[in-house]
Amino acid sequence: MHLKKIELINFRNYNKETFTPDKNFNLITGDNAQGKTNLLEAIYIGTANNTFRTSKFTEIINWNNEKSRINCTFNTAGGTFAVFFELNLHGKKYIKINGKKLNSGENLPYPTAIIFTPDDLEIIKGAPARRRKYIDFELGLLDYSYHYYYRQYQKALFERNNLLKQIRVKKADGNLLEIWNHQLIDTGSRLIYKRLQLLKKLVPLLRELYSHLTGGREKLEVRYLSSVRITLNMEYQQITSLFKQEISEVRDKEFYRGQSLKGPHRDEIVFYIDNNDARQYGSRGQQRTIVLALKIALLELWKNETGEYPILLLDDVLQELDKNRREYLLQKVNGQVQTFLTTSTERKSGWFDPGSGKIIKVHEGKLNQGE
């Protein structure tokens, strides 16, 4: 798949710009704060209906305007996707795909982009929430129903936690919890099961890539740590039964703390290099290598599952990699993956062959597109 055209209207520091990228490689250059990352963000929103940068989505709206719009055209093996995205100051989204409105909670086969930024090192060394985010918002995109159950689980968790807080201060009856227990167990068990199925596909690719990147000198393991005492080969019904049992066991603790103590919101994945926890004992170079392997593994998994590669967005990351890993990444995507790379250095040895793509210079929200 590839992005054929994108139009930005009142998007961050862009008033109105149209971009027609090369189908293979696009080098986006310019000084800091000119709009390079903004352009990648717009492409990402066109594929995910979400941003990778901020929790306050309305920040994408250009100053003194009420709405921001993005129009994208993608070519995929399944046909052409025309995506219209609009966001207003109240945070309301309006999305159309090929002229049809996308309703809230609806899941459709859709063009996909994978983003790689320097902040992704937090996947390894950061808090458990960052690793859950990788599963939920990157790996989870491979399963069209995943985010339906994710949203349903978050709703049940929110309502259940509110009720637990009321029970804690004696403003509600503990018996009322049973309604939300059922919702939490059902959607939570489906979420855990789906995570395990996705990881079973990803982890073998990840191990192989990491071994290749380290010349076979290091072995990478990935473990799913769950608050529910599951085993990796459990089916949904088995997870449900165990989840129900364990929630009953912590009932009094939950009343005391006023929060849900079991479920996928407390789970995470942990990476081990030669049996050592990469969070604590991995060098910065090893942690970078795991992240690089995670991104490439995701590219390969998308290819295996859908028959085509997603779009790759590289936001100022090549200087984070040493020469060998940088060359490995560029060689891996060359001619196969439509790639957008931002950098403040236009030409650097081994980064870009001007004859193989397009150079786009960004200055104050204006695009100067080379041929």
Q: Are both 157 and 283 inside the same structural domain?
A: yes
Q: Are both 47 and 80 inside the same structural domain?
A: yes
For position 38, what pLDDT does the model report?
95
Reported as a single tens digit per residue, the pLDDT across 210-267 is 999 999 999 999 999 999 999 989 999 999 999 999 999 999 999 999 999 999 999 9
For position 64, what pLDDT does the model report?
87
One-letter identity of residue 172: A
Number of domains the chain contains: 2
Q: Are both 222 and 152 inside the same structural domain?
A: yes
Q: Which two tokens stand for residue 154?
A: 């978050």
Distance separating alpha carbons of residues 189 and 252, to the nearest angstrom: 22
Summarize the confidence of residues 31-58 as an average pLDDT. Answer: 90
What's the CATH number where 293 sits?
Answer: 1.20.1050.90
Beta-bridge partner residues of 91 = none
Q: Are both 259 and 346 inside the same structural domain?
A: no
Degrees to nearest 5, angle at CA 351 with 27 and 46: 35
Q: Are both 167 and 253 inside the same structural domain?
A: yes
One-letter identity of residue 289: T
Reported as a single tens digit per residue, the pLDDT across 254-290 is 999 999 999 999 999 999 999 999 999 999 899 999 9
- Which of 306, 325, 358 is the C-terminal boundary of a domain? 306
Distance separating alpha carbons of residues 72 and 338, to the nearest angstrom: 15
- H helices of the chain, in order, are 36-48, 122-125, 128-137, 146-168, 177-213, 236-249, 251-257, 278-281, 284-306, 323-333
Judged against a pLDDT cut of 50, whether residue 105 lies above it is answered with yes
Q: Are both 178 and 259 inside the same structural domain?
A: yes
Closest CA to 173 of 103, 101, 246, 255: 255
Distance of CA 99 to the CA centre of its chain: 26
Reported as a single tens digit per residue, the pLDDT across 120-178 is 999 999 999 999 999 998 999 888 889 889 999 999 999 999 999 999 888 888 788 99
For position 349, what pLDDT does the model report?
45
Query: What is the rounded average pLDDT for all residues in the chain?
Result: 91
Judged against a pLDDT cut of 90, whether residue 104 lies above it is answered with no
- Which of 290, 306, 322 is the C-terminal boundary of a domain? 306
Which pLDDT band holds residue 186 (cuts at 50, 70, 90)? Answer: very high
Q: Are both 12 and 77 inside the same structural domain?
A: yes
Distance separating alpha carbons of residues 335 and 54, to the nearest angstrom: 32
Q: Are both 299 and 315 inside the same structural domain?
A: no
Residue with more model confidence, 207 or 322? 207
Closest CA to 265 of 95, 177, 150, 360: 150
Q: Are both 141 and 176 inside the same structural domain?
A: yes
What's the CATH number where 95 sits?
Answer: 3.40.50.300
Distance separating alpha carbons of residues 308 and 56, to the nearest angstrom: 32
Greatest distance between any 2 Cα atoms in the chain? 71
Reported as a single tens digit per residue, the pLDDT across 106-124 is 666 678 899 999 889 999 9
Reported as a single tens digit per residue, the pLDDT across 312-330 is 999 988 877 888 888 888 8
Q: Are both 197 and 284 inside the same structural domain?
A: yes
Reported as a single tens digit per residue, the pLDDT across 350-362 is 555 656 789 999 9
Cβ atoms of residues 219 and 206 within 8 Å: no
Closest CA to 81 of 110, 51, 40: 110
Which residue range is the domain that position 85 belongs to?
1-112+310-371
Q: Are both 134 and 278 inside the same structural domain?
A: yes
* Torsion angle (degrees, nearest 10) of CA 247, 250, 253, 259: -20
Q: Beta strands 311-315 and 339-343: pairing type?
A: parallel
Q: Are both 272 and 172 inside the same structural domain?
A: yes
